[in-house]
Structure 1
């Protein structure tokens, strides 16, 4: 089994509920979406990946393991384009694992084995220039329900910009809470980087929290790896 791999590296998780954990990151090339805030746009292009086998990636990961490593993060691009590669990898190397996904492949997500954590991005219409469809949100909800049924550790991540419309934000977050019928799912509000763009919009961050807190278990976490100037 082969897949296009942009890079394999060790760093500190700067987002979500595993923030601060040392992880080994496997970044796949290729994505089905074109979000305008993407912080790794090079990974969208399949040509930026090197075709590697599962064994080759396993060897690269083994070289990077240190005593403080908590888990491996499969990211991208969109890692669920390579679900069978990931399954084979985790059969060969037993590690705690995180999938960072846009959640638009519920069937593939349900095919994952031996996964411990899943981060699902909730997309807003403003995240796209002209390619938004309702199917994106519908599949994110399907993915979350599948993970809830499988009792996998999950959290949502929603990127906000200073320009994000509060009423649209509330409609989306309320819809997530209503469709999942629980307030227990963590929602990470992630301010877009660089954080300096929020200098004159700090009050809006509190408004996002207050709105989301009505519907889900909400936290606000910026991209900490950007502060540390690490990958």
Structure 2
């Protein structure tokens, strides 16, 4: 399930651009997206498949990547979003860029499936905002024999983020094929150690144009969370709706 990381002095980038945050609790904020290449996971509804192979990205030195960030930074940018792909694949390069961004007085935001708690622990000190993306089995993210390991890493990363006092929220993509029973088990596991005040949000994100769940199905997932966390939200991808990337 691991992909070899790029050397720490270089980074593979798919793209850097500024747009509107289209997901989660901070949707609508002006955001710079630093899309890092490489992801060991294979979600069937992935909307950035071009960023999955590590060698799909352009190769930069860390200094060149910093210059690219500075050159493309817009005024009044709310945060810099490290996304992918999966940023933890290149965790050493991520640390260097996050340090640089924080040095410019900007918020750092990590969007991750948290497949590796060891790498997550190393980058956490340089991240202000964390979105932990829990994957359900119907995402076909990994084969069944590796799913338990992925879930343990995701839960461990949530514990690390909470204990470090980071602004943390959870996202789960659901489809019409997602198991409500499995979702309920995940929710019970999360809130067995998570107090409501310790997370900033729980986002249920419907898949877009691939096995889309109808409203009654979405309400089933919502109702599974609400008794334990009444700040749960169903939030589709805003940028898809308004037609921007």
Under TM normalisation by the shorter chain, which class is it? over 0.9
Q: Deviations along 1:129-173, whole A, 9 cap, x unmatched?
A: 761320111110100101111101110100000222222221121
Matches within 5 A, 1:56-205: 56-93=64-101, 94=103, 95-112=106-123, 113-128=125-140, 131-132=143-144, 133-178=147-192, 180-184=193-197, 185=199, 186-194=201-209, 197-198=212-213, 201-205=214-218
Give the count of matched residue pairs. Answer: 228
Which whole-Å CA distance do the structure 2 matches of 1:130 and 1:87 have between them?
A: 26
Q: Deviations along 1:7-56, whole A, 9 cap, x unmatched?
A: 11111110011111111111111112111111111111122111111211
Q: Which moved more, 1:135-144 or 1:113-122?
A: 113-122
Which whole-Å CA distance do the structure 1 matches of 2:162 and 2:70 have between them?
A: 31
Which whole-Å CA distance do the structure 2 matches of 1:25 and 1:79 have between them?
A: 12
1:226 matches 2:240: yes
Which whole-Å CA distance do the structure 2 matches of 1:86 and 1:173 have between them?
A: 30
Tell me the SS of whatever aligns to 1:111: helix
Give the TM-score taking structure 1 as reference length. Answer: 0.92
Q: Which runs of 4+ in 1 moved over 4 A?
A: none
The answer to whether the Cα contact below 8 Å between 2:35 and 2:84 also exists between their aligned partners in 1 is yes
Tell me the SS of whatever aligns to 1:20: coil
Which whole-Å CA distance do the structure 2 matches of 1:38 and 1:55 have between them?
A: 30
Which whole-Å CA distance do the structure 1 matches of 2:50 and 2:91 have between them?
A: 21
Aligned counterpart, 2:227: 214
Aligned counterpart, 2:5: none
Q: Which moved more, 1:205-214 or 1:97-106?
A: 205-214
Aligned counterpart, 2:6: none
Q: What RMSD, in angstroms, separates the aligned Cα atoms of the two structures? A: 1.7
Give the TM-score taking structure 2 as reference length. Answer: 0.87
Unaligned runs of 5+ in 2: 1-8
Which whole-Å CA distance do the structure 1 matches of 2:210 and 2:40 have between them?
A: 27
Which whole-Å CA distance do the structure 1 matches of 2:210 and 2:54 have between them?
A: 29
1:51 matches 2:63: no
